Amino acid sequence: MNAGFWSKLPDVCAILAPMAEVTDAAFRRVVAKYGKPDVLYTEFVSAEGLMSRGRERLQHDLQFHESEHPIVAQIFDNDPDVLAQATSFVCTLGFDGVEVNMGCPDKAVMKQCSGASLIDDAPRAVRIIKAMKDAAGAIPVSVKTRLGVKSDVLEEWLPRLLEAQPAAITIHARTAKEMSLVPARWDRIARASEIAQGSGVRIIGNGDVASLEDGYAKARAAGAGGFIPLEVGRPKVAEATRLRRGRLLTGFMAGRTAIGNPFFFSGRNDVTLAEKLEAMCMHARLCEELMPWKPFVHVRKHLSKYASGERDIKALRVELMAANNAADVAAAAERFLATAKGE
């Protein structure tokens, strides 16, 4: 098994979860600046699309900055050959890893027999992983999946994935049918760690991570016990290296809680309003610079979240929801800060 960069991470790693229409180039750049996690992911991209005449359009979704390493490109499809071809292409772009999505519950994706629908076709899933590994060469291949489609089939599903020896398997601790409507079952992540013991495959949990400390606590409880110091934060490198030998490697993904909070993975509790609004303005500027083809309304869903929890924020939110460009965002932030200072 080629673990690649995964073998160089702390025993318990913190990862920004891939989210459609969220973890684009602008958002990831802001996160990398203000609170970089151990690994970043792109939005998922259609493998078939990457192999079509429309490749140039989809390639924009795979742009990244050197500050984002290590970064993984996530792709989806149901055809081993198409996924292998897309993997070869993605590997030429400089990514540190490539991942196949076997967990997306979107009906349109599942109708294509992609995403979470592959949970019901384990033989095809195994062929996909093996084909992608052959195509990736020295670049590690990973998988993101769920507990099942309509019911929890972890006991049967995970061993099949382990047969193919991906470098890492991320498990969203719900079924596809449950979407994100029920609490994530981290006890099942713990069970996944037990099943994977001795395989060398890193098991990563996903779902309902409320804070950085909560993520580390959930990962420890799921099988990494005691590897993280009592204080919030990552383990010291020397200690992580010492403990890695013969130990289970794990991690956690956080997604929704990082929207509007690029400081999430820094673990800081002292972020000032001025810092939040500075990050917000940077996000708006990057959206214009890196994704000029997207209407500015795309970024509005992020904007108001940057100042959530602050007092008297309603007026700023109203302005942000009417912003048409980065200059509007900067002007609104400046006015709000001036008011907050009593100027």
Domain 4-266 adopts which CATH fold? TIM Barrel (3.20.20)
Please give the C-alpha separations between residue 1 and each of 172, 202, 222, in angstroms, as whole numbers: 23, 11, 23
Q: Is 327 helix (H, G, I), strand (E, B) or coil?
A: helix
Task: Give pLDDT, residue 226.
Answer: 32
Strand runs labelled E in the chain: 12-16, 40-46, 71-76, 97-102, 141-146, 168-172, 202-206, 250-254
Q: What is the pLDDT of residue 47?
A: 96
Q: Name the DSSP class of 122.
A: H
Q: Where are the domains positioned within the chain?
A: 4-266, 273-340
Q: What is the Cα–Cα distance from 5 to 317, expressed in whole angstroms?
A: 40
What is the full DSSP assignment across 160-196?
Answer: HHHHT--SEEEEESS-TTTTTSS---HHHHHHHHHHH
- pLDDT per residue as tens, the chain (343 positions): 789 999 999 989 999 999 998 999 999 999 999 999 999 999 999 999 999 987 877 888 899 999 999 999 999 999 999 999 999 999 999 999 999 999 999 999 999 999 999 999 999 999 999 999 999 999 999 999 999 999 999 999 999 999 999 999 999 999 999 999 999 999 999 999 999 988 999 999 999 999 999 999 999 888 753 333 333 444 444 444 333 434 567 899 999 999 999 999 999 989 998 999 999 999 999 999 999 988 998 888 889 888 777 777 888 988 999 999 999 999 999 998 888 776 5
Q: How many CB atoms lie under 10 A from the CB of residue 127?
A: 17
Model-wide pTM > 0.95: no
Q: Tokens for 48, please give them.
A: 């078939």
Q: From the CB of residue 182, how many other CB atoms can be counted at a distance below 10 Å?
A: 13
The sheet with strand 71-76 has its strands ordered as 12-16, 250-254, 202-206, 168-172, 141-146, 97-102, 71-76, 40-46
Q: What does the radius of gyration of the chain's CA atoms come to, in whole angstroms? A: 20
pLDDT score, position 342: 61
Residue 240 to residue 10: CA distance in whole angstroms: 6
d(CA 245, CA 250): 13
Do you find a cis peptide bond into 166, omega within 30 degrees of 0?
no
What gap in Å lies between CA 32 and CA 253, rounded to an integer? 15
